[in-house]
Structure 1
Amino acid sequence: MADGGTTGALLYAVSAAVLGMLQFGYNTGVINAPRSFIQNFIKEQYTASPSLIFSVIVSIFAVGGMIGCPLASWLVEKLGRKKALMINAIIGVAGAILMGFSKAASSVEMLIIGRFVIGINCGFATTASPTYVSEVAPLRLRGAFGTVNQLAVAFGMVGAQILGIDVILGSDEGWSWLLGIAIIPSAVQCVMLPFAPESPRFLLLAVHDEQQARIALTKIRGTTEINDEINDMHVEDHAAKQEQKFSILDLFRIDSLRKPLVIGVVMHLSQQFGGINAVLYYSGTIFVYAGLEEKDARLTTIGVGSVLFVMALVSIPLIDRLGRRTLQLCGLAGMTVFSVLMTVAFFTYENNTTMSIFAVIFTFLYVAFFGVGPSSIPWMILSELFGQGARSAAVSVGALVNWFANFVVGLTFIPMSEGLGNYVFLPYTALLILFFIFTYFKLPETKNKTIEEVTALFK
């Protein structure tokens, strides 16, 4: 289809890129089901607390993510989008091999290093994949193609949870294969990416090779009528060069930049400190708390990823219809209510099968409200609060804060659950209330507003 529609070349390019986001979803969800088997594996090697070492295995993923994000920002500009994605695919293969062979090598260290390396791969993907996808997609379909990243994350998570059930790979013999399967998305990327086009925008504006940019754009659009799009890129680039560039330090120093930065950072903190990754990493453990048998708990975790996948589809039309602020407030309020109800259910499940079922339902609804707004809005809000000159620095700070908060939740949930027992979700509830109040008073609505109108609010 010509002129701004979908073509085979476009779908191929987007598919090759979003495999990195599928990898991110897979490795977020995969660690949940095999916890007991991995802890048995740790006990064979160490006398130290297996639950503490397991917390390190879970959270080291986010440390890798903190390194992967800035690495991606640098490499996509230095080498181009396509080469950067290729390098990242190789990193993914290395991480998967380390995890997959850790049991055969009787090495907990290999497992930890593998989780760290795959974390670098996933952090890199969360920066590089959306950049590439937004640059190859036609303007009128950019929003729709942007949501493909979120769908790929949810799809990867569901896949990990299905493969983690007992009859497939959720076993003492199968858990290392479960982790090692992460090689597939990266290996497929290694095969697909050489045949994908480079971003025409990168070729035109960074490499200054208009001929190659035209060849790439013609291939992606399936038409030679690309002059308007090439001219638009030139105009956009010229406008960007006129704008003052701001560093990360400037964001903290200049008052009109510091205010939106604080709002964006709090949005990212609300995504993680609302407790969602406690559920994504440890929902099997949470369902055992709620009175389910371990086998049933592993099966029930599939519902968590499935709810996120459905909500990713539902929230696509709602973001532009209802607005960012409304959905964020709605999501935080729902998460607050259901985190309280989860706590009540944990207390009353004993000798009461009905309350065990309600505990699972409340957990699913908590995840559903996360999918309404807090899942995607923190990632888009910073790019809407800042002009071109400060946007890149602001998005980098947001991503770093998000991965750091992810690390904190991953590391602290097991010690918190051992210390607080059934009260484990109440700290997240308290933080959700604070995030709701902050969002209500501080977050402006960016729907249907130009960047100039939004930035004027902070001056």
Structure 2
Amino acid sequence: MTSPAEHIQSFVNQTWLGRYDVPVGESTNTLIWSFMVSTLSLGGLFGTMTCVSLSAKYRRKTCLQINNVVAILAAVMMILSRMVKSFEMILLARFLYGYNAGLGINLHLMYLGEIAPKRMRGFLALTSSAYLSVGKLLGQVIGLKELMGTEDMWPYLLAVSGLPAILQFVSMPFFPEAPRYLYIDKGDEDGCKKALQWLWREDDVNLKIEMEDMRKERESAQVTQTKTMLDALRDRSVRWQLMAMLIPCSGLQFCGINAIYFYAFDIFRESGVPEEKMHYLALGIGAAEVITVSACAFMIERAGRKKLLGYGYLLMGVMMSVLTVLLTIKDWYPWLPYFNIALLFFVICIYGLGPCGASMCLPADLFLQMWRPSAFAVGGIVNWGGLFLIGMLFPYVVDGIGQFCFLVFVAYCIVTAAFMLYFIPETKGKSSMEITEEFNKLNYKKCSTELEKGIDLFATKL
């Protein structure tokens, strides 16, 4: 929405003038634009909330297929909005895009987590982060004024998101249903074996190992149904898993990355970069994120989630502290603005290698099948809700304290790093049951301690 912003606002003004014979007021225009920007987050929040019921009632593959129709409908509405002179269609289309993203990201990660062997679970989950970064970069590229960021092309620019939906709609029928869903949720052992053989093309030994792991998980879940979000928030058995997911996942919005993007153009301007060249430098930031997220996909199974998240947040906190100091003294030396640009890129690289990449696979890693839909929904609500709050409140924070706004994010990064490094066990290379056993030591630590004390006291009396 950044590139075609002036054209969309002009379209709103022309539409208002044609309806009421007066130009739109400045406050009304600002309000309409704010709704256009924020309604994506509201749609994402709503899509995330419906993920639990839809994924439990229908198959993962079916939900993904239907969700593509939502994005295609939104794209059509974007194209027609100028023809019928209705900016309300843009509002509704943005909401539908948000719904498609909120539901689709959760379903996609769920599907990937359930089709992947444990040795590739982190890598496949990270493809979502990589493609999200690629999508942002492509949006910046095609939004350039030399391409589609023009007054004539902006409706088609906003409709480009419908193209991946069409591609997935056409290709999805050729893929099998998630094996873990078929076996654990539906009890379809034959269907699960066929799906595994189609996906993995491996020998029977590895398939038997994976089936045995699913069997254990299914036996542990047979007495219960798929859990709701309220169950996930209340149940002690997933308390630490929930914290291990929510703290770093909420960090995707509260780690300061939005502040970095917000200050980027100011830093470019202070360094003497011409106004017409700034968008090209911004493309470099997007490219840096794509490269580092892609690199994280290859590192995650070697380095592990815990180290990438813990040290990633720690380094982000340190670098933003340094950036705050340098922004405060930027007028002391003429070379400082250029150094700030380098720091800017460095923070983006750390974000891509750690928090952005490794957070995406946490719900699939940490939770058993019966908890997984609720975990994705809770994580998605926190993520989209945080995005909405940052979008609404951050400009006021910047106006109030300027570059010192980074210190708020620094505190969050340091606390998150300490939590991940000192409290959370590593999950790489472990099955779902093994991970659950690790977290049960934390979830029931107090009970175990009391039991041990009781045994010691009983032995003393004897």
TM-score (norm 1): 0.79
Measured after TM superposition, the shift of residue 272 of structure 1 is 0.9
Contact 1:56 / 1:411 at 8 angstroms: preserved in 2?
no
> How many residues of Structure 1 are paired with residues of Structure 2 in the alignment?
429
Please identify the structure whose Cα radius of gyration is greater.
2
Equivalent of residue 391 in structure 2, options 391, 398, 410: 410
Tell me if 1:115 matches 2:94.
Answer: yes
CA distance in 1, matches of 2:322, 2:140: 24
CA distance in 2, matches of 1:442, 1:140: 23
Contact 1:86 / 1:189 at 8 angstroms: preserved in 2?
yes
Measured after TM superposition, the shift of residue 119 of structure 1 is 0.7
Measured after TM superposition, the shift of residue 52 of structure 1 is 5.1
Instruction: Describe the shift of the 1:315–1:196 C-alpha distance in structure 2 as closer, same or farther (beyond 3 A).
Output: closer
Tell me if 1:168 matches 2:147.
Answer: yes
User: Mapping of 1:287-302 within 5 angstroms?
Assistant: 287=268, 292-302=273-283
Measured after TM superposition, the shift of residue 181 of structure 1 is 0.9
Equivalent of residue 314 in structure 1, options 292, 295, 298: 295
CA distance in 1, matches of 2:179, 2:80: 40
Contact 2:309 / 2:358 at 8 angstroms: preserved in 1?
yes
Measured after TM superposition, the shift of residue 300 of structure 1 is 1.8
Contact 2:123 / 2:300 at 8 angstroms: preserved in 1?
no
Measured after TM superposition, the shift of residue 182 of structure 1 is 0.9
Measured after TM superposition, the shift of residue 317 of structure 1 is 4.1
Instruction: Describe the shift of the 1:38–1:304 C-alpha distance in structure 2 as closer, same or farther (beyond 3 A).
Output: farther
Query: Which residue number corresponds to residue 91 of structure 1?
Result: 70
Alignment gaps of 5+ in structure 1? 1-30
Instruction: Describe the shift of the 1:193–1:249 C-alpha distance in structure 2 as closer, same or farther (beyond 3 A).
Output: closer
Query: Which residue number corresponds to residue 19 of structure 1?
Result: none
CA distance in 2, matches of 1:43, 1:166: 21
Query: Which residue number corresponds to residue 23 of structure 1?
Result: none
Tell me if 1:47 matches 2:25.
Answer: yes
TM-score (norm 2): 0.79
Tell me if 1:276 matches 2:254.
Answer: no
CA distance in 2, matches of 1:400, 1:351: 44
Query: Which residue number corresponds to residue 458 of structure 1?
Result: 443
Greater mean alpha carbon deviation, residues 84-93 or residues 341-350: 341-350
Query: Which residue number corresponds to residue 398 of structure 1?
Result: 379
Q: Secondary structure in 2 aligned to 1:376?
A: helix
CA distance in 2, matches of 1:54, 1:284: 21
Query: Which residue number corresponds to residue 82 of structure 1?
Result: 61
Map Cα deviations across residues 18-66 of structure 1 (whole Å, 9 max, x no partner). xxxxxxxxxxxxx343344444445554324455544432322121111
Instruction: Describe the shift of the 1:217–1:314 C-alpha distance in structure 2 as closer, same or farther (beyond 3 A).
Output: closer
Measured after TM superposition, the shift of residue 429 of structure 1 is 3.3
Q: Aligned letter for 1:455?
A: N
Query: Which residue number corresponds to residue 336 of structure 1?
Result: 317
Equivalent of residue 102 in structure 1, options 63, 68, 81: 81
Q: Aligned letter for 1:321?
A: R
Greater mean alpha carbon deviation, residues 88-97 or residues 353-362: 353-362
Instruction: Describe the shift of the 1:201–1:434 C-alpha distance in structure 2 as closer, same or farther (beyond 3 A).
Output: closer
Measured after TM superposition, the shift of residue 90 of structure 1 is 0.4
Query: Which residue number corresponds to residue 43 of structure 2?
Result: 64
How much identity, in percent, do the aligned residues show? 30
Greater mean alpha carbon deviation, residues 136-145 or residues 323-332: 136-145
CA distance in 2, matches of 1:418, 1:168: 34
Query: Which residue number corresponds to residue 361 of structure 1?
Result: 342
CA distance in 2, matches of 1:291, 1:420: 24
Q: Secondary structure in 2 aligned to 1:302?
A: helix
Q: Secondary structure in 1 aligned to 2:50?
A: helix
Contact 1:58 / 1:281 at 8 angstroms: preserved in 2?
no
CA distance in 1, matches of 2:185, 2:45: 26
CA distance in 2, matches of 1:43, 1:420: 33
CA distance in 1, matches of 2:276, 2:108: 36
Q: Secondary structure in 1 aligned to 2:145?
A: coil
CA distance in 2, matches of 1:140, 1:259: 23
CA distance in 1, matches of 2:77, 2:335: 43
Q: CA RMSD in A?
A: 3.5
CA distance in 2, matches of 1:177, 1:412: 30
Map Cα deviations across residues 343-362 of structure 1 (whole Å, 9 max, x no partner). 45555667987544434332
